[in-house]
Amino acid sequence: MLLQIPDVLDAHQLEEARRLLADAPWEDGRSSAGTQAALVKRNQQLPHDCKAARIVRESVVTAVERSPLFLTGALPKKLVTPRLNRYGGDTPSYGEHVDNAIRFRADDGVRVRTDLSCTVFLSDPGEYEGGELIVQDTYGSRAIKLPAGHAVLYPGNSVHQVAPVTRGWRIACFFWIESMVRSDEQRRLLFDLDMAITRLRSRDGDNAETVALTGTYHNLLRMWADT
């Protein structure tokens, strides 16, 4: 499932992120890539321990943990420590690759299975040309280029790439999620059911049918979740 999440960060959070990242100590992004990915990775990242990275990632984590759409789409169990990257100039792209199945959190070394990937866009589309996140799924390739503050969730096992940035800079925060529900198909069923219940409750209020459907949702989650 590929899910776009609008307005994860508000205008104030974006302004602060831009201010911090303007003079940040960007470094070669290949330092965090595996052997195969390093062959096609041409971007820049921030060191985990720099001030800008710490403040922006804390803002992003707080924001996604307050987002109902993120929570119901990801059903998060653990997050990998978010990182900041940028594309442009001599480091404009990231060719086709698949992310590592297991990542280690930077702060405590805990292993995290990468069921889902998340990108939070920090640059508006008008600030750069190219730079689409291109994700392959069963329906073909999908190109994503969202407004600043918006996020996209997509399966961690997807072949994906960032198209070359030909003007300006594309800056984003990215991280991986280990979900309580490992199966993408099961997460999708739970998400669709939750959204349908939300629409029914908004239209008709609570009644015997919405209570029964809510019970079904939680019984399925109880059956499939690993906490």
What pLDDT is attached to residue 55? 97
Rounded to whole angstroms, the Cα distance separating 98 from 131 reads 18
Parallel/antiparallel/unpaired status of strands 111-113 and 27-28: unpaired
Q: Which domains does the chain have, with CATH numbers?
A: 3-179 (2.60.120.620), 184-224 (4.10.860)
Rounded to whole angstroms, the Cα distance separating 97 from 108 reads 26
- Tally: H helices and E strands in the chain: 6, 17
126 burial (CB, 10 Å; 0-12 / 13-18 / 19+) is exposed
Enumerate residue ranges in the chain where pLDDT < 50: none
What pLDDT is attached to residue 138? 81
Running DSSP on this structure, what letter comes out for residue 91?
A: B
Rounded to whole angstroms, the Cα distance separating 36 from 189 reads 33
What pLDDT is attached to residue 32? 72
What pLDDT is attached to residue 220? 98
What pLDDT is attached to residue 37? 77
